[in-house]
Amino acid sequence: MRSRVLALVAAVAMALFLALGLEPAHADGGAPSPPDGVCLGNIHYTFSPPLQLAPRPTTITWSGTYSCTSVTRAWNGEFDGSVKSTTGCLQTGTNQILAQGLTENDNWFASGGDDRLGSSALTGTVSTLPREDGSRLYEWTGTVTGGTWFRGHRFNGNGLYSSVADGKVCAAGGAIDHNDGEANITILPL
């Protein structure tokens, strides 16, 4: 009987926390992650060595910022990631798998101060898709494998940048060392 009363008190307290927009304390002192979320942001790509017309082994790194929302909360994030692949400025196929070894680290900042920080470590695959308008879409998918927020969730993101200028530079024998674009990611429970 006592365990039922304690369970009922805990359930009522949790409902009250959520109804008032409060969050219970997390085991590591920070706030728990939202159950899922959608993030929009900006992304900066760097290519080393710079992309050229002929594909060659290249490390692609990226970084940027997200602004995120879920049903229960809004938060912001900073991210950086990398993948190694054999690629060039132009693609030969319609959907090119760049690599299986994608890694990305996210640092999250929810409103309310330092006690509402979180992190995520993402692993998965990345592919690129050229579009009719001359832009290129990067897509990354996988699982959140570490950190304090979203561990065990799936992610699906994409970053878009215009590659029309890149194609002209490559066709003229030049190289591309960076590019900027838009990014978004959706994080969902498995």
Q: What is the pLDDT of residues 124-180, one digit of tens each?
A: 988 877 776 667 778 889 999 999 999 999 999 888 777 777 777 877 888 889 888
The pTM of this model reads: 0.73
Confidence of residue 113 (pLDDT cuts 50, 70, 90): low
Find the mean pLDDT for residues 5-12. 31
pLDDT confidence of residue 101:
79
Q: Are 156 and 36 in contact (CB under 8 A)?
A: no
The residue written with tokens 């912001």 in the block is 76
* CA distance from start to end of the chain: 35
Q: How far is CA 16 from the centre of its chain?
A: 32
Tell me: pLDDT of 34 over 90.
no
Find the mean pLDDT for residues 93-120. 74
Segment 60-101, tens digit of pLDDT: 898 999 999 888 888 899 999 988 888 877 655 555 656 677
Q: Quote the CA–CA distance of 48 and 50 in Å, as a whole number.
A: 5
